[in-house]
Structure 1
Amino acid sequence: MQSSTALRVLRRGAAVKVAALASLVLALAASPAGAAPAAAPAAASATPAAASASPDVPATFTVKGAGYGHGVGMPQYGAQAMAVAGRGAVTILRTYYKGTNVAWVDAGKDLRVGIFGSGTDARGSVDLVATGPWRLRFVNGSGATAHTTWTGTAGEVLHVTRSGTTVKVTRNGGRSAVATGRVRFDWAGTRYYRSGFAAATTVSLRKAGRTASATHGTYRHGRLVISVPAAGSPQRLTVVNQLRLNSEYLYGIAEMPSSWHTSALRAQAIVARGYALRAYDAGIKAGCDCHLYDDTRSQNFTGWRKESEGTDAYYGKRWVAAVDGTRSGSSGRVVRHQGAIAQTVYFSSSGGQTENSEDIWSAEVPYLRAVDDPWSLKTTISNPWRAWSQTLTQAQASAAFGLPDVVSIAITARTAGGSDAAVTRVRATSSTGATAVLTGAETIRSRLAAGTSPWIHRFVANS
């Protein structure tokens, strides 16, 4: 169902992206404005003399809060509520990225997206299967000229493996060939091969007959480029989807439910384009032979799955239309600050306000400022993160604080903004009277709130 897919995408995109986004934000500042969040609790205070009676040690704590994600930039549920209330995409973006403007820029780039071999699935083999005619070209050395070319038809399985420093491909019947450079896989209906082919051809990456776990699996646009990586595991292959940034790549971005309001979808398309252009300008990563990844280390790119979503691609067409509404030819709209493309980080839902970049990470970015966000809490939209409760076990609490046990947890500091603000300091007390402190919103939400959000309201001890 659309709602199930929406929730899964927003939870995944907002929760896992933090480390990659934090490193990008750090790069925006010449020097950090403040210390990074603490990675470990402060040392416990000295244990006082034995009390006459020890307090009961609770089995669990109930953690109550709101929101989901790191809290910096645009909350997607907030954008949806603003759109439902009649606000346009530009208004949404200027609300959450302070002092910015939305402008047209040249986005006519060819982007390289790492779709296999650059993550936890660092394997050295994968199968390719196309639904229509295809062409495979072997390039030897560093040259661009193909030295061997195969063609084939729908359904044939091509088994691709790494053999030393070369890429080896075996087709049905056992015929094999190798490339000392790259292997390029093209399929009918793209600009690379038989562009006038009537039927839409897609290609899938499979492992042992199933969709490979490190890829979203199905692609319609561009071409695949397979190579031996210049860095990393000596057993790995890398597979890259090379495609147009301004259309083909954005059509596959799955960071927001396609059923949402058009203005929210357009706002998401604009920030996704800016993110991709900044990645393009940063150059090719040696470890993946790509500009960015297809997962939450960059942006969640699912290729044809996003574009073909729903019965007769109903939802996919809505998303494609939103992307097309923010582009014209090779030009596209982005968020800019003082003439440069802004780092438009985003997340799922706030707990009533967004946060300053330096309060969550360490670098102060002028357009990533805390703003009031009543929109994420509006009842006009269905937001599962308007309020939440999590269970924190005694074992988890004592491990987080480095205490033998924990009998109480108190919130002792927040960012500016009162009860709607993110928690930045909590203190735990043990049955011995010893105390320990955790600081830093990201540390607190990961250790005490199951990674949900830093907008924690209170901790309730359960006997």
Structure 2
Amino acid sequence: MKRLFTLAILVLFATPLAAQATAVPATFTVKGAGFGHGVGLSQIGAKGQALEGKSAIQILNYYFPTSQVIPVVDTQTIRVNIAHQVAAIKISLTKNKSNNQWTLSAGETGTVATDSKPIYFSILGKQIAAGNLGIADYWTLRWNESTTTVVVPSESSTSTLAHGYLQLKPILAPGLGYRIEVTNTLNLRDHYLWGISEVSSSWPAAAMQAQAIASRTYALSRMRNIRKECDCNLYNHKYDQVYAGYSKEGEPRFGQLWKAAVSATNVDTTTALAITYQGKPINVFFSSSTGGATATSKDVWGTDYPYLVSVPDPWSLDGKLNPKYNAWSITVSQEKIANAFGLPDVLRYAVTSRTKTSAALTVTATSSAGVKARLTVSEFKTRLKIPSSWFALPATAVVPTPSPIPAPTESATVKP
């Protein structure tokens, strides 16, 4: 009897000690909706509205209230970065065309070679070597646009280009020394826009036209200066807008549909439609889809613009329109989430502040020892590769009802 009593006491005191070793989850499942930052034009929303019969101008008036879609001059040339901070690069011509030929110029000295073979460029101190053709402060490459396309590889993709000319310059990169910046200078009006690859060329015409106007506006609003770090106005990837060059306009059948959508937004030989506020192109933004309503610029970046406000976007939650991101689920390992928060482990996490549209603003994690760490939603998304800020949505979240879409302004029309 005494032995049983002693055993009971041991069990009584052992239980709290065992409970202290709290098991942490091996994985976490993050559930949400939407893809991208969610500010401005919802591309899925534009597609949905186009299928409902809305025009490009109606779509843009809806997503950018207080702005005006009007004709602006768009005959400028634009400088697009194609390859960034490369130590060496091979540039070649397409092999399936006759009369392929490039002309290479060294700095200000004029033409040094005309050929059709690939060229190998490499950084050499503060200059660039072009194979055995010589060394120069910078190089300019031109070609016959009617017969030739140029292929430029980069870290993330390979660009096939048909228009304008290429330039290679050495630019001092912090921590790297001098590196080569490869840029494509071409006409904004058609040639640049023909290569924009932000939406599918099989989408309804009005959705593509809305994107063409938004992309033109984006370029115009960022052409004031050449960025020193890239020798460019814009990059060719998602950090600005995706420019795929001839790969977009040259798509079998669909490339012509995209070019037609761009041309439909031209007004005459020198002007085309852009989104403006007080007569100037706006600081436009667009992303794939949202969690049911667009985000404000202030919520995402801290800067308030009168035309970057939140509007209902139920089309993004339509499974037929947005099958991949109307509702998504991502599994994150214990190791990854602990590293993201800088904790030894994570017992649980919670969204600790949200916007009015239920998008997350801050996320707080708690370790098994009770230590807490907080991340901004931008940090959380970047470190864990989360598609949008609309995740771990509360059960009370309500999808807003769309407000009436404004009628198009009388001063602008899109060609049929």
Same fold at TM > 0.5:
yes
Does the aligned pair in 1 maintain the 2:212–2:265 contact within 8 Å?
A: yes
C-alpha separation in 1, matches of 2:308 and 2:326: 22
With structure 2 as the length reference, what TM-score do the two structures score?
Answer: 0.82
1:78 aligns with 2:25: no
Q: Residues 333, 394 of structure 1: CA spacing in aligned structure 2 closer, same or farther, 3 A cutoff? A: same
Give the AA of the match of 1:352: G
Q: What's 1:261 paired with?
A: 204
CA offset digits 1:138-184 (Å, max 9, x no partner): 244xx4xx43343235xx223333344443334xxxx623434x322
Give 1:187's match in structure 2, choosing from 143, 150, 156. 143
Structure 1 unaligned segments of length 5 or more: list them. 1-49, 191-196, 206-210
Q: What's 1:441 paired with?
A: 377
Q: What's 1:271 paired with?
A: 214
1:106 aligns with 2:73: yes
CA offset digits 1:27-60 (Å, max 9, x no partner): xxxxxxxxxxxxxxxxxxxxxxx88824442221
Q: What's 1:319 paired with?
A: 258
Does the aligned pair in 1 maintain the 2:172–2:179 contact within 8 Å?
A: no
If asked which structure has higher relative contact order (CA below 8 Å, sep 6+), I would say 1
CA offset digits 1:67-123 (Å, max 9, x no partner): 11112111211111111111111111121112111111001011111112x24xx22
Give the AA of the match of 1:428: A
C-alpha separation in 1, matches of 2:23 and 2:172: 57
Give 2:19's match in structure 1, choosing from 53, 68, 76. 53
1:404 Cα deviation (Å)?
3.7
C-alpha separation in 2, matches of 1:239 and 1:202: 16
Q: What's 1:452 paired with?
A: 387
1:202 Cα deviation (Å)?
1.0
1:401 Cα deviation (Å)?
3.6
Equivalent positions of 1:283-362 (< 5 A) are 283-309=225-251, 313-327=252-266, 328-362=268-302
1:369 Cα deviation (Å)?
0.9
**Which SS does the other structure have where 2:273 is aligned?**
strand
Give the AA of the match of 2:300: I
**Which SS does the other structure have where 2:228 is aligned?**
coil
**Which SS does the other structure have where 1:355 is aligned?**
coil
Q: Residues 157, 352 of structure 1: CA spacing in aligned structure 2 closer, same or farther, 3 A cutoff? A: same
**Which SS does the other structure have where 1:396 is aligned?**
helix
**Which SS does the other structure have where 2:91 is aligned?**
strand
Greater Rg over alpha carbons, structure:
2
Equivalent positions of 1:172-183 (< 5 A) are 176-180=133-137, 182-183=138-139
**Which SS does the other structure have where 2:19 is aligned?**
coil
**Which SS does the other structure have where 1:237 is aligned?**
strand
1:240 aligns with 2:183: yes
**Which SS does the other structure have where 1:238 is aligned?**
strand
Give the AA of the match of 1:348: S
With structure 1 as the length reference, what TM-score do the two structures score?
Answer: 0.74
Q: Residues 183, 57 of structure 1: CA spacing in aligned structure 2 closer, same or farther, 3 A cutoff? A: closer
1:263 Cα deviation (Å)?
1.0
**Which SS does the other structure have where 2:158 is aligned?**
coil
Give the AA of the match of 1:275: Y
RMSD of aligned Cα (Å): 2.6
C-alpha separation in 2, matches of 1:92 and 1:272: 14
Q: What's 1:424 paired with?
A: 361
Out of 313-322 and 124-133, give the one that drifted further. 124-133
Q: Residues 215, 330 of structure 1: CA spacing in aligned structure 2 closer, same or farther, 3 A cutoff? A: farther
C-alpha separation in 2, matches of 1:373 and 1:63: 22
Does the aligned pair in 1 maintain the 2:105–2:141 contact within 8 Å?
A: no
C-alpha separation in 1, matches of 2:124 and 2:32: 52
CA offset digits 1:406-436 (Å, max 9, x no partner): 333333332113xxx201233434434x252
1:135 Cα deviation (Å)?
4.1
Give 1:151's match in structure 2, choosing from 94, 106, 114. 114
Q: Structure 1 vs Structure 2: percent identity of aligned residues?
A: 34
Give 2:353's match in structure 1, choosing from 401, 409, 413. 413
Does the aligned pair in 1 maintain the 2:72–2:272 contact within 8 Å?
A: yes
Does the aligned pair in 2 maintain the 1:166–1:178 contact within 8 Å?
A: yes
Q: What's 2:149 paired with?
A: 202
Q: Residues 237, 215 of structure 1: CA spacing in aligned structure 2 closer, same or farther, 3 A cutoff? A: farther
C-alpha separation in 2, matches of 1:184 and 1:428: 52
CA offset digits 1:204-250 (Å, max 9, x no partner): 23xxxxx4435533111111122333666444222221110111011
